[in-house]
Structure 1
Amino acid sequence: MGAIFALGGVVLIQEYGAPKRDDEGNPIEDEYSKYSILPQYLLRFYKEALAFKKVIEEPSRTKLLPDPVPEPYIQPPYTLSLEITGVLVHPEWSYYTGWRFKKRPAVDFFLQQVGPPLFEVIVYTKENGYTAYPIVNSLDPQGYVMYRLFRDATRYQDGHHMKDLQALNRPIKRVIHVDWDENAIKLNPHNSVRLRKWEGEMNDRTLMDLAVFLKTIAESGVDDVRGVLEYYSQFEDPLAMFRENQRKLAEQEMIAQQAAKERVTPAWSAFKARV
């Protein structure tokens, strides 16, 4: 095995350490040509290895999304970025079927509620394109998802594929990313909603609650979503806390309406008495 690996290393150095050649097959001089043969090959190989490492670690392009559409086209005011595995689907494997992806309850409702004109919906996943593309096609036959970003668009650091929301070419204060993996959101934690990873339970209602949460943010015209998301991120279950806050708000509004009604009723009775 050691001999095989050594031979493989020699072949790689010979392949990637060789000088470039012109159309006639003659070596092209570069910054390493002044060295003897072995240092030349080693330095070129090292340079190629660094370039390959950069390709793996950094997103495939500096702008992951095209520029916002100009008028008269409608550009949604907010951008919603979604991981799919563990958020919208759950992978399952068996000897009989191989890998299959279970669809989370209320996916159709969720996409319909958060789609344009409120949000520009994109998929931003650590999955490879050949895996994720057919999944998105199956989940979104209506076409609410406007763009799809796969593993090559992530930033690979410390053994994790991180979502770089700064590279989306959108105002960062209007971007929301939904994920379950705390490592995936390390670059932009204040723009993220971190959910519990969905493990395939069919009585789950998370996407319904999430749709209401996101619609409330968009319809309220929040200028910077980071303040709202940072507040809810301190809770173990941010959607449960949102439901509780909504319940308290509805209760306060009911009490205020009742108080206003009680103030009006005596005044009306006094007016009738005078008449």
Structure 2
Amino acid sequence: MSFLAIDRLFCGCPRFGRKFINTSRALTSGLWRTMIEQSDETAESGGKHRTELGYSTCFGFHLHRCNASLVYVARRRYSTYEKTSTQILSKLFPQTSTEPNDEESRERRKREEEEETREMERAWKRMKLGIGLVGIGGILFSFWAIYYFGKPSLDDQGNEVIDEFSELPLTQQYMARTWKSVNHFQRFIQEPSSQKLLPEPLQAPYVQPAYTLVLEIKDVLIHPDWTYETGWRFKKRPGVDVFLRECAKYFEIVVYTAEQGITVFPLLDALDPNGFIMYRLVRDSTHFVGGHHVKNLDNLNRDLKRVVVVDWDKNSTKFHPSNCFSIPRWTGNDNDTTLYDLASFLSVLGTSEIDDVREVLQYYNQFSDSISQFRENQRKLSEQMQADELDRNSKSKPIVKNWTRGFIKH
């Protein structure tokens, strides 16, 4: 059997390979033991013959030296293997230990246990030292933060500015100002950067669209993709140009996203070269609540009766679910037609002159797929209109009436 066949046998049958290796180890250890015993006997008999014959030949002398060397190497390897195996088994299973229970062995075990104990004590001391240093660093940082954020403000001449905490004791002043700074930083993270995210509606002679359309950019208009070869790339959703052009006829288009502005602004410049998107709102315009960046429509400075939000994440619009029109999240497939259907829906909504769009949106939000339901309603409406048209055409007027009316006119 060739080495390639043996290798295939071991790779195909790992269980057989393990059994073969274990058996080989057992046979090898037994072979070493037998060789050592035979070598010992040979060495003893060689010693007797050496005494009797006195090394009669040079060949016998070299044979004895080779035999003795073999005995030494074999005994050393076997004793090392046996010692290592015995130590491992003794540590894992102390009850099966075969080491001699003499005074020297007990002293050795005692020294090893003491060394392990001392090493554990040193590790514990190092850990306590590290914890202490971290604690001292935290205390020093806290004192520095209280001093830095709690000191009174200074004017241009270097004089202290009187505030609402100036009459308190010095310690309370610093603590109160520090707490105010912490609350201000927390509100800066959680709340929008402005209470009015959009300017006032346009006045005549400028034209202000009747409705406001709020769009999410990620996985609605574009899809981000990352690979080792290209890094980050952004894929344009099919129908974006048609969608923006049609919606701009009836809506004031606003992109409102939780992404950073440094990423969004260049993408929108490339996505919308015609300027259909009127305003851009990014992460600093959102509320951070419960681990989610939420779009607060109360800060849009627009009438919520005429605001439509298109998004796939309901957590981002949980403050105003009645204004949201949910669509499936786009994952980058090229045969997607959602934006075409969405443009049809918004065009119908914009031309209907509905006073409160939330009633229509709440109706469609009760379905799992709002777009599919809109397509089904449009199909039924088209069939009904065709049926009405056929019904009107089938009701022809009487010939006599037509003839009489024409005769009277002449």
TM-score (norm 2): 0.62
In the alignment, structure 1 residue 104 sits paired with structure 2 residue 275: no
Q: Distance in 2 between matches of 1:272 and 1:73?
A: 53
CA deviation profile, 1:201-256 (whole Å, cap 9, x unmatched): 11111111100000000011111100000000011110100000000011111111
Q: How does 1:256-275 map to 2 (within 5 A)?
A: 256-264=388-396, 267=397
Alignment map for 1:232-247 (pairs within 5 Å): 232-247=364-379
> 1:195–1:41: structure 2 CA closer, same or farther, 3 Å change rule?
same
Give distance in 2, aligned partners of 1:99 and 1:12.
39
Structure that is richer in helix per residue: 2
State the percentage of identical aligned residues: 46
> Which amino acid in structure 1 is aligned with residue 199 of structure 2?
P
Moved more, 94-103 or 195-204: 94-103
Q: Deviations over 1:120-158 (max 9, x none)?
A: 111111111111101111110010001111111112212
The match for 2:255 among 123, 131, 138 is 123
Match of 1:155 among 287, 293, 300: 287
Deviations 1:91-129 (A, max 9, x none): 1112222222111111111101101x3111111111111
Secondary structure of the residue aligned to 2:197 is coil
CA distance in 2, matches of 1:13, 1:27: 17
Any residues of structure 2 matched to 1:18-29 within 5 Å, and which?
18-29=151-162
- Separation (CA, whole Å) in 2 of partners of 1:160 and 1:79: 24
The answer on 1:16 being equivalent to 2:149 is yes
Q: How many residues of Structure 1 are paired with residues of Structure 2 in the alignment?
A: 272
Where 2:316 maps in the other structure, the secondary structure is coil
The match for 2:188 among 55, 59, 63 is 55
* Aligned residue number for residue 227 of structure 2: 94
Equivalent AA in structure 2 for residue 211 of structure 1: A
Change over 3 Å in CA distance of 1:272–1:80 after alignment to 2: closer
From 162, 168, 176, the counterpart of 2:300? 168
Answering whether residue 332 of structure 2 is matched by residue 189 of structure 1, we say no
Which of 66, 78, 85 is equivalent to 2:218?
85
Answer 1 or 2: which has greater strand percent.
1
Matched, 1:114 2:114: no
Structure with greater Cα Rg: 2
**Paired residue type of 2:373:** M
Partners of 1:100 and 1:11 lie apart in 2 by: 44
Distance in 2 of aligned mates of 1:179 and 1:128: 17
Confirm whether residue 207 of structure 1 aligns to residue 323 of structure 2.
no
* Alpha carbons of structure 1 residues 269 and 41: separation in structure 2 relative to 1, 3 Å: same
1:69 aligns with 2:235: no
1:184 match: secondary structure: helix
Match of 1:218 among 346, 350, 363: 350
| Distance of 1:56 and 1:80 partners within structure 2 | 26
CA distance in 2, matches of 1:9, 1:100: 43
Return 5+ residue gaps in structure 1 as ranges: none
Query: Letter of the aligned partner of 1:158 in structure 2?
Result: G
SS across alignment from 1:183:
helix
How much does 1:73 deviate? Answer: 1.0
Distance 1:128 1:28, change over 3 A: same
SS at match of 1:204: coil
Work out the CA distance in 1 between the residues paired with 2:278 and 2:402.
Answer: 62
